Structure 1
Amino acid sequence: METEETIRQRRHRLATVPRACEACKIRKIRCDRSNPCSNCRASGLTCQNPTVPPENQPKQDRIAHLEKEVNQLKERLSVVEAQLTKDRQRPNAKLSASHDHPVNTSPAAASPAGGVYQGHSSFGTQSVQAGEVAQQIVGAEVPQNGLNLDSSFLQISDVLQPNDGFTALENYQLSNGPSSRRLPEFDPLPSEIVIAILQEMKVNRPIFLCSYVINDPELLEKLCQSTYFPISPPSLGQITAMYGLLFCLLKEYIAFQHPLSKKYDLAANLVKCERNFTAGIETYDMMAVPSFENVLSLALGTFKAQEDGKPLLCCSLLSAAASHCRMLGYSRQSTYNKYDARTAENIKRVFWTLYTFDKNLSLLEGRVSYLQDCEIELGYPECSPNPAFRAWDESFVAGIKLAQLQGQIFHRLYLVGTLRISAPQRAQDVDELANDLRTWYSDLGKIEGSGINHPQVYELSRRSWDIMYYSTLTLVLRATSLSGAATELNTQCFQAARSALSSHLTCFGKYESSESPGLLSESDYANWVLHSASFTPFLVIFVHAIAATSIEDVNLLDEVVEALRRIRKTSQASERLYTVCATFSRLGRGLVEARKANIGMYNQQEDSLRLDGNSGGIFTFGLDSGDDVGFTFDFGDQLNAVDAGEVSALLNEWADGQSSIMTILGTNFGGH
């Protein structure tokens, strides 16, 4: 019995059978399939045999190409395996769900998606665009030379693909070999406490997860899973971010006397969390390697620096986080296309949180922000449709809009170049920004908070918005005439400053009242409210008090100083702020009661003040009554010689538009 013909044999046999020539096929006549055929000879045509279809050509070249691709994949796989082996051999951080089974820590970052961002002007981005254009051309026109360009396009795509290796530590250190730095050894929390926290936050959303930096409980759950039950070694950023979030939650549970505090020793575990989080933050890897987990950790570190009353540390951590955001492209909407919706929203919230911190500190400190509006094209975070969280989210968006206004205020009124613009242009800018602020404040009042989660804390937070609004408005109105040789303060500026100080007293009173026992501490008020708002209103009212000899203004200053006295021990920054303000208040009362002070040109009818900046400074406080400064009052009982010089310098800088909150907090009155 004859064997059946295989498909390959049949194709080969048919390929050898002569076919009709092209001329006969076009004329649709029978061809004798000779070469040349009789029809073409009779007609005087060129007889052209049909080309063999590409699929029937020998495929040795394609097989060789596939073998080459397989070899390349093997080489790449061996490189990855070697890298993983090297990572496992590095110094490990001890972390485990139990003390007996440590989990290795990888120093490399573990972002949701890799790749360092490159803008449109970069060679990498333009190379990608050129490759896409070439591929479109090839797709539209089949090459006539028969060359196979697939391998070239695959190679281009492979080379230009965003490289996760850019997040490896080797790219952020000067040494060529493995890092000799030891990663911190973490003291893990008991797994049962972590599990209890995760279960509780799913049932009752804590305040910290209602809005602001993150509002996704699943993010913390994933960080805990990657650390306590890892498939691969967790990164330093994952561990640090986890402890930072747990620290915030434990602190909230302790403050509110959560039932978990009766079952577990939360205070001891809070200390452990703080120690682990600090150890992770204070590493070179955290500050140098850009990844989402590192950005989140640095954002939480910025919070902690704010809570600890350390504004300079806050700026340093914020600078590193902002640098990571720029390298990862978090300010560009196109970056988020490679993430799923949930991950993109988490990253977006962290970025906007850093943005609000940055713009606020920029205005308070009088320096250019780290994140520039010109490089940001990103929508606001989504607001939850759930009434329990919607007002929290809308307030967060309102905070972003205020931060954008604060950025405009600095760039249009306080940037070095703007101090030289004409007075009419400056007055127009002041009016526009003041109106924008008033519109923002009106929109803020339209946020509906009924049915919101944690209503007491939400209502208390609304009081701090009044402080932010009036203090920022004072900064705008105070900048009317900074560009000339004189400083003018009008009645609108005085009213805004007075409202800002009154709002401070009202807000602080609510913190201490029986309406909110134990909700927030004096330290929380000092670090999150007091130091987050400009204290320029205090200086404005001080100047108005001595110019108008207003005992009412002096009494207001004394009330504010008394409130500051009760929170002066919360941090070194609070102590210094109290000392500075107490000095001004004491000086102001002495001048007003003496009724012999003469400062600038005060128009009582218009309630405006003009301070001439000639003759080497507006304010000069001396100890002798004979000083030629317009003050005929002995300051010996009010200021010592050192304080007099400090006050003079500070007020003259303030009148020129140069002083900032850092100037005040850095002033060393009375040796404090």
Structure 2
Amino acid sequence: MGPEKRTRAIMPKACHNCRMRKVRCNRVIPCSNCVSSGLGCVPGVRSAVQLGQVTNSSGEDEHRCLRERLLALEQAVEQLSRQGVSDHTQRAISHDSEGTMSTPDPPECRTSLSEGDSSFGRQILLASKVATLTGVSQMQPVQRELANLLVMAEDQAAPQTLGHLYTPEPHPETVRPVIKLPPSNFALQLLRSLRGKPTSSLANIQKESVFFLFYGFHDRAQIETLCQRVYFPIESLSSSEATLFNGILCSILREGSFFQSSELKEEELSNMRVLCEANFQAGLETFEVLAIPTHENAMVLSLAMAHAQSEAKLLFQHSLTSAAARHCLALGYHRESRLSMLPPLEAERARRLFWHIYTSDKSLCLRLGLPSTIPDYDIDARSCSISRNPSQAPWDLVVVKFAELSRIQGQIYESLFSAAAQTLTVSQRHSTVSRLSVCLAQWYQEWTQIDSKDAYNKDLFTSTFGPVEVLYFSVLTLLHRGETSSNSADHISQACLDGAYQALRAHLAYHRNISTLGVNALYPYAVCIFYYTPFTPFVVTFLHCVANSDEDDIKLLNDALVALEQVSPKFEHCQRQLKLCKGLYKIAETFIKCQHEMGGKKELEPATSRLLPLQSPVSEHRSQLTVHGHSVDLSNAFLEDLEILDVDQMSFLLDNQIGS
């Protein structure tokens, strides 16, 4: 509105005289009433022209002031926004000209991780210090092989970078793609492939994704709901949901054989898998996933746990399992009273997730010699339900049985290998071993009764759970090994030795059956044998071999080693166990050879108990062990390795059976 219009639109008030006399004023100066009455007309306010001019000037000043303030505010907001984006970009990502991003290299940080008494590394250490070997200083070849074994153990247990232990080691030349969701068309097509086409073919009916069979996910509806939430959000999408979605797609895409007959191209599947893995890894590294106990975060950790298990990264799996277990405890998934408050479908999903995490927690407890996170005394949640579908039921039974086996494994560690177990008497250990061996035998009997003839993916079921026999006898051997705290071969019970023989023979028999089936069949065997089966049978057989110069033992060790050598080149994670087993075999072979060269095994002197402190760091006054007048230097060849394993302060009775 212009100044003239504003001037005409403003009407002055009645003059002062008219207002006092309360008569109608024609609102001009002078007004008609004042003229007719001969009075001086005094306006009530400023004239219309004057008021219009003042109003016009004041409005322009006010508008100008508002514009200046608004402009200053916009500039300040823009400056703060640019500064915040710049800081975030410098901290998190760096963009290149092609629209990709890369993460900065993490700082170089090394750490030493310890393993408990039931771990393979610990068993190797104790086996290398058996008195039968450490006292024969005149057998130089044996001493050289012992030194080589300790060097290999030292290389494997040396401090490593956190990036190498827990996340894929970054490569500066590798550029990570921009984090974004996969195309919706691809995700929908992938879900259609999982659902499958209606057909009467029995082969297709009995084919199902392992993701829904063995892992902590209940059904497809769970994923389809998440897909709708991701691609058609009504509310803002959380980072946990985006990470979970990428992790689910990544896990499904790992089953390459499942999509061979689908319309999805192999190249597209490969590209999307790389993208989903990068997105999942980026989301997993956020603080919220590890710190905030939500169902989504627990599911993210369970997926990462499964990925680490398939890649045989035990320490990474243990860290993820511990975090996921704490989430489950915080959410109350271990208590039936909490689960009963949830809707039935949600309760079953939470129950399945909990037992999946529980199985990993307890099995790693014995394998690594570390305490579990979830205490058995606080669990009253029911087991997962068994489907009425004869094809699904065997897989559900496997989930239940593995949880039961894991509980027994956790009890073995707590009762025989924990710090509290070191104070047990011999009779208490015998009683514990007897009780747990009965539980273990009953479990194995029930396992063998699982009918899998109608199971989904029958071939995969057989190849995945075929090595369970080896696992059973290995756990049984470790159980009987804990019957005594002595490291003497003479204190190995017959039950322990029989279990070791059966474990190695089962290992050889299963290897013969699958050695011609290709890499896909060898993969679950290699992961189970090398990383998730206690290697105590090999150690026990080795100890019996050197104590008795048994030719049958050395042949059994050689056969087992040959089988391991055929598998290990195909899988990088098998190299550590292979090197250590090869070191044990060379020691046994060299020892027996030296015995023959010396004219047979000499009469051993009566066994005497000698206390060998296993403390770290090793002090100088404990670095010499004197036996029959001979001083054996332990500082460099033997006890030095204890610093690497970071053994807690404890002592073991090492029976000193040394020949002349």
Same fold (TM over 0.5): yes
Aligned to 2:547: 547
Aligned to 2:241: 238
**Counterparts of 1:257-336 in structure 2 under 5 Å?**
257-260=260-263, 262=265, 265-336=268-339
Aligned to 1:19: none
Distance 2:579 2:637 in 1: 11
> In the TM superposition, what whole-angstrom CA distance separates every residue of 1:262-297 from its partner, at most 9, and x where no partner exists?
466211211111111111111111111111111011
Q: Is the Cα contact below 8 Å between 1:210 and 1:392 reproduced in 2?
A: yes
Q: Comparing both chains, which one has the higher relative contact order based on Cα–Cα distances under 8 Å and sequence gaps of 6 or more?
A: 2
User: CA 1:263–1:366 in structure 2 vs 1: closer, same or farther (change >3 Å)?
Assistant: closer
Aligned to 2:588: 588
Please state whether the residue corresponding to 1:379 is helix, strand or coil: coil
User: CA 1:598–1:187 in structure 2 vs 1: closer, same or farther (change >3 Å)?
Assistant: farther
Distance 1:487 1:418 in 2: 22
Please state whether the residue corresponding to 1:387 is helix, strand or coil: coil
1:357 and 2:360 correspond: yes
Q: Is the Cα contact below 8 Å between 1:422 and 1:483 reproduced in 2?
A: no
- The amino acid across from 1:271 in the alignment is V
Q: CA deviation at 1:483?
A: 7.4
Distance 1:320 1:475 in 2: 27
Distance 1:401 1:430 in 2: 17
Distance 1:218 1:431 in 2: 46
**Counterparts of 1:523-534 in structure 2 under 5 Å?**
524-534=524-534
Aligned to 2:444: 441
Aligned to 1:193: 186
Please state whether the residue corresponding to 1:533 is helix, strand or coil: coil
- The amino acid across from 1:285 in the alignment is E
Aligned to 1:414: 417
User: CA 1:333–1:487 in structure 2 vs 1: closer, same or farther (change >3 Å)?
Assistant: farther
Aligned to 1:249: 252
1:458 and 2:468 correspond: no
- The amino acid across from 2:559 in the alignment is E
- The amino acid across from 2:589 in the alignment is R
Q: CA deviation at 1:390?
A: 0.5
- The amino acid across from 2:544 in the alignment is H
Q: CA deviation at 1:462?
A: 3.0
Aligned to 1:562: 562
User: CA 1:575–1:486 in structure 2 vs 1: closer, same or farther (change >3 Å)?
Assistant: closer
Q: CA deviation at 1:307?
A: 2.4
Q: CA deviation at 1:507?
A: 3.3
Q: CA deviation at 1:646?
A: 6.8
Q: CA deviation at 1:617?
A: 7.9
Distance 2:405 2:607 in 1: 30
Distance 2:651 2:536 in 1: 11
Distance 1:381 1:336 in 2: 12
Q: Is the Cα contact below 8 Å between 2:212 and 2:218 reproduced in 1?
A: yes
Which of 423, 430, 436 is equivalent to 1:427?
Answer: 430
> In the TM superposition, what whole-angstrom CA distance separates every residue of 1:88-141 from its partner, at most 9, and x where no partner exists?
x999999xxxxx9xxxxxxxxxxxxxxxxxxxxxxxxxxxxxxxxxxxxxxxxx
Distance 1:599 1:242 in 2: 67
Q: CA deviation at 1:535?
A: 0.9
> In the TM superposition, what whole-angstrom CA distance separates every residue of 1:519-556 from its partner, at most 9, and x where no partner exists?
4453x433344201111111101101111212222222
- The amino acid across from 1:614 in the alignment is R
- The amino acid across from 1:190 in the alignment is P
> In the TM superposition, what whole-angstrom CA distance separates every residue of 1:198-235 from its partner, at most 9, and x where no partner exists?
11222352122123322411112122221122221222
Distance 1:647 1:538 in 2: 20
Aligned to 2:393: 390
Aligned to 2:344: 341
Distance 1:657 1:571 in 2: 37
> In the TM superposition, what whole-angstrom CA distance separates every residue of 1:131-169 from its partner, at most 9, and x where no partner exists?
xxxxxxxxxxxxxxxxxxxxxxxxxxxxxxxxxxxxxxx
Please state whether the residue corresponding to 2:305 is helix, strand or coil: helix
* TM-score, normalised relative to structure 1: 0.62
Distance 2:239 2:566 in 1: 40
- The amino acid across from 2:446 in the alignment is D
Aligned to 2:574: 574
**Counterparts of 1:123-134 in structure 2 under 5 Å?**
none
Q: CA deviation at 1:628?
A: 7.2
Q: Is the Cα contact below 8 Å between 2:213 and 2:395 reproduced in 1?
A: yes
Aligned to 2:621: none
- The amino acid across from 2:587 in the alignment is L
Structure 1 alignment gaps of length 5 or more: 1-88, 95-99, 101-183, 603-609, 619-626, 633-639, 659-672
> In the TM superposition, what whole-angstrom CA distance separates every residue of 1:64-101 from its partner, at most 9, and x where no partner exists?
xxxxxxxxxxxxxxxxxxxxxxxxx999999xxxxx9x
Distance 1:423 1:357 in 2: 31
Please state whether the residue corresponding to 2:491 is helix, strand or coil: strand
Please state whether the residue corresponding to 1:411 is helix, strand or coil: helix
Aligned to 1:128: none
Q: Is the Cα contact below 8 Å between 2:362 and 2:406 reproduced in 1?
A: yes
Distance 1:576 1:263 in 2: 33
Q: CA deviation at 1:192?
A: 2.2
Q: CA deviation at 1:486?
A: 9.4
Distance 1:478 1:599 in 2: 27
Q: Is the Cα contact below 8 Å between 2:369 and 2:417 reproduced in 1?
A: yes
Structure 1 runs, 4 residues or longer, greater than 4 Å off:
89-94, 483-487, 569-573, 596-602, 610-613, 627-630, 640-651
Aligned to 2:369: 366
* TM-score, normalised relative to structure 2: 0.63
User: CA 1:270–1:599 in structure 2 vs 1: closer, same or farther (change >3 Å)?
Assistant: farther
Q: Is the Cα contact below 8 Å between 1:554 and 1:588 reproduced in 2?
A: yes
Distance 1:237 1:469 in 2: 38
User: CA 1:509–1:190 in structure 2 vs 1: closer, same or farther (change >3 Å)?
Assistant: farther
Aligned to 1:44: none
- The amino acid across from 2:195 in the alignment is K
User: CA 1:263–1:411 in structure 2 vs 1: closer, same or farther (change >3 Å)?
Assistant: closer
Please state whether the residue corresponding to 1:338 is helix, strand or coil: coil
User: CA 1:260–1:207 in structure 2 vs 1: closer, same or farther (change >3 Å)?
Assistant: farther
Q: CA deviation at 1:485?
A: 9.6
**Counterparts of 1:187-226 in structure 2 under 5 Å?**
187-203=180-196, 204-226=207-229
Distance 2:364 2:608 in 1: 30
**Identity of counterpart residues, as a percentage?**
28
Distance 2:604 2:435 in 1: 27
1:497 and 2:500 correspond: yes
> In the TM superposition, what whole-angstrom CA distance separates every residue of 1:284-328 from its partner, at most 9, and x where no partner exists?
111111111110110111122222332222121111111111111
User: CA 1:657–1:565 in structure 2 vs 1: closer, same or farther (change >3 Å)?
Assistant: farther
Distance 1:356 1:342 in 2: 21
Distance 1:426 1:641 in 2: 32
Distance 1:494 1:434 in 2: 14
Q: Is the Cα contact below 8 Å between 1:223 and 1:239 reproduced in 2?
A: no
Distance 1:559 1:225 in 2: 54
Work out the number of aligned pairs and report it. 458
Distance 1:458 1:646 in 2: 45
Distance 1:503 1:347 in 2: 36
User: CA 1:528–1:346 in structure 2 vs 1: closer, same or farther (change >3 Å)?
Assistant: farther
Distance 2:565 2:324 in 1: 34
**Counterparts of 1:370-381 in structure 2 under 5 Å?**
370-381=373-384
Aligned to 2:146: none
Q: Is the Cα contact below 8 Å between 1:211 and 1:389 reproduced in 2?
A: no
User: CA 1:223–1:590 in structure 2 vs 1: closer, same or farther (change >3 Å)?
Assistant: same
User: CA 1:612–1:278 in structure 2 vs 1: closer, same or farther (change >3 Å)?
Assistant: farther
User: CA 1:657–1:432 in structure 2 vs 1: closer, same or farther (change >3 Å)?
Assistant: farther
User: CA 1:487–1:245 in structure 2 vs 1: closer, same or farther (change >3 Å)?
Assistant: farther
Q: Is the Cα contact below 8 Å between 1:480 and 1:488 reproduced in 2?
A: no
User: CA 1:531–1:601 in structure 2 vs 1: closer, same or farther (change >3 Å)?
Assistant: farther
